[in-house]
Amino acid sequence: MVRAVILGAGYVASHLAAGLAKIKKGEVEPYGVPLARYDLPIKIEDIEILAAYEVDNAKVGKTLYDVAVEVFKDTGHTIPEDLKKIPIRRGMHLGSAKVLPVEARGLEDEVGIKEAIERLVREWCELKPDVFVNIITTEEARKVESREEFIEKALKGELSATQTYAYAVAEYVKRCGKAAFVNAIPTPVANSPGIVEYFKEVGAVLFGDDGATGATPLTADLLEHMAERNRKVLFIVQFNIGGNTDFLALTDPKRNAMKETTKSSMVEDILGYDAPHFIKPTGYLEPLGDKKYVAMHLEYISFGGFKDSIYINARINDSPALAGMLTDLIRLGKIAIDRGAAGTVYEVNAFFMKKPGPEGSRNIARSHAYLKLLEWLGLSRY
Ligand SMILES: NC(=O)c1ccc[n+]([C@@H]2O[C@H](COP(=O)([O-])OP(=O)(O)OC[C@H]3O[C@@H](n4cnc5c(N)ncnc54)[C@H](O)[C@@H]3O)[C@@H](O)[C@H]2O)c1
């Protein structure tokens, strides 16, 4: 059994909970869950979502079912009744939802930051989650260099919401049991040396940063294809336009810059040189909804100085792609805890994350990372 808490009750949270419930009932196959065909000690059926945390006043106090009604409208897909059992509780805000057209309030606005952290830790000590999944709105944040900076700034309310949640999780682990924190958004957590050090110290597990779902892993594998054939990449452009609230948040230049950092890190890491590139989410267009438009254009020099081009055009359902990855990350979180791991695990991050921690880690092709992950799990490719 693995008990999970979700931070941020939006599109991805709704798809994760709905997809899990349907897989458990045998209504859909576990496609899009990378390790579904392997026999892991924790099964997909073992995942239980206990609660979600939010700051949007219109969502707090409701259930994930209520949120899913909006997310699933016009998709033709049904919403399992099971989502009515997942309550949405109030979390910490720290400005992360400011850019959204919602009225947002955090626990810290009512009782101050120290008491807000304390309340969450007390709630979690009762709920006893094993894994926390962070899928709040993309926020602006800086790296945390040392454990002292982490503790001091968290208690003063000077860190981002994600980093403050990570601090609360570390406190929960100190007092009430083992846990893993999965950071699926660009905020540097697994890439913050101070946070990784503190997690190691308290015996907590950390995966991050920023789930690699649609165009990023595809680009990484394409770059590896070029590198292995010694084709010289002249440039690469890759952009996304979407109509969900995540893309709306990314119209804020500072938040967009966070995504650009996590997405662009792979070019030099994989090719061994920094080919000119433009890789970032480029726009919000409401009618596209959650099915984003992805375009990619790559030019390279082949044998004898001849120039070739690759063009890719795709429409990709954004949130289900991350939800499938999170299904495995929740299981891997529990597996890592049971193995006695502490700090962050590169073998997991390298496959699942756009900017794999710890800081300074190489961003490698996902086809290679997949094999490393299987090795870490003691499995061989079937
Ligand atoms: N394929 C993907 O969809 C994909 C891939 C990688 C990363 N991500 C990341 O996942 C995150 C979630 O995406 P989404 O489409 O579900 O977005 P969403 O806007 O539908 O949901 C995010 C939710 O988080 C809530 N929130 C904001 N600040 C919060 C806080 N401090 N505490 C609790 N809740 C808070 C918002 O009110 C909102 O309901 C984004 O940050 C995005 O960057 C998504």
Identify which of 244, 162, 279 has the alpha carbon closest to the alpha carbon of residue 210: 162
| Tokens linked to 67 | 């949120």
Kindly give the distance from the C-alpha atom of residue 161 to the centroid of ligand 1, in angstroms, as a whole number. Answer: 12
Kindly give the distance from the C-alpha atom of residue 227 to the centroid of ligand 1, in angstroms, as a whole number. Answer: 34
Identify which of 355, 362, 135 has the alpha carbon closest to the alpha carbon of residue 258: 355
- Pocket lining for ligand 1, CB < 6 angstroms: 7-12, 53-56, 91-93, 96-97, 100, 102, 135-138, 161, 184-185, 210-211, 213-214, 244-246, 318-319, 321-322
Cβ(84)–Cβ(91) under 8 Å? Answer: no
What is the Cα gyration radius of the chain?
20
- Determine the residue type at 123: E
Entry pTM: 0.95
Report the distance separating Cα 119 and Cα 113, nearest Å.
Answer: 10
Tens digit of each residue's pLDDT (9 = 90 or more) over 216-232: 889 999 999 999 999 99
Domain boundaries, the chain: 2-211+320-376, 215-317
Work out the average pLDDT over 368-380. Answer: 96
Tens digit of each residue's pLDDT (9 = 90 or more) over 29-77: 999 999 999 999 999 999 999 999 999 999 999 999 999 999 999 899 9
Work out the average pLDDT over 193-209. Answer: 98
Mutate to test the pocket of ligand 1, among 100, 136, 139, 169 (most ligand atoms within 8 A of CB): 136
Q: Percent of the chain at pLDDT above 90?
A: 89
CA distances from residue 73 to 56, 214, 317, 352 in whole angstroms, order as listed: 20, 22, 14, 29
Kindly give the distance from the C-alpha atom of residue 287 to the centroid of ligand 1, in angstroms, as a whole number. Answer: 19
CA distances from residue 343 to 79, 357, 379 in whole angstroms, order as listed: 36, 10, 23
Atom in ligand 1 nearest the alpha carbon of residue 321: 1
Report the distance separating Cα 86 and Cα 62, nearest Å.
Answer: 9
Tens digit of each residue's pLDDT (9 = 90 or more) over 240-250: 999 998 899 88
Q: Is the pLDDT of residue 261 over 80?
A: no
- Please state the CATH superfamily assignment of the domain spanning residues 2-211+320-376 in this structure: NAD(P)-binding Rossmann-like Domain (3.40.50.720)
Task: Specify the pLDDT at position 253.
Answer: 83
Contacts of 201 (CB under 8 A, 6+ apart): 147, 342
Identify which of 34, 38, 33, 29 has the alpha carbon closest to the alpha carbon of residue 382: 38
- Determine the residue type at 303: F
Tens digit of each residue's pLDDT (9 = 90 or more) over 289-325: 999 999 999 999 999 999 999 999 999 999 999 999 9
Task: Specify the pLDDT at position 255.
Answer: 79
**What are the φ/ψ torsions at residue 317 (nearest 5 degrees)?**
-70, 110
User: pLDDT grade, residue 263 (50/70/90)?
Assistant: low
Atom in ligand 1 nearest the alpha carbon of residue 214: 1
CB atoms within 10 A of CB 152: 12
User: pLDDT grade, residue 251 (50/70/90)?
Assistant: confident
CB atoms within 10 A of CB 377: 17
Any alpha helices (H) in the chain, and if so which ranges? 11-24, 64-72, 107-111, 113-127, 147-156, 161-176, 193-202, 215-228, 245-249, 253-264, 266-271, 318-338, 346-352, 366-377
Tens digit of each residue's pLDDT (9 = 90 or more) over 79-129: 999 999 999 999 999 999 998 899 999 999 999 999 999 999 999 999 999
- Determine the residue type at 369: A
Tens digit of each residue's pLDDT (9 = 90 or more) over 138-184: 999 999 999 999 999 999 999 999 999 999 999 999 999 999 999 99
What does the DSSP assignment read for 73-97? TTS-----GGGGG-BEEE---TTTT
For the domain made up of 215-317, give the CATH fold: Dihydrodipicolinate Reductase; domain 2 (3.30.360)
Work out the average pLDDT over 244-267. Answer: 80
Task: Specify the pLDDT at position 262.
Answer: 66
User: pLDDT grade, residue 278 (50/70/90)?
Assistant: very high
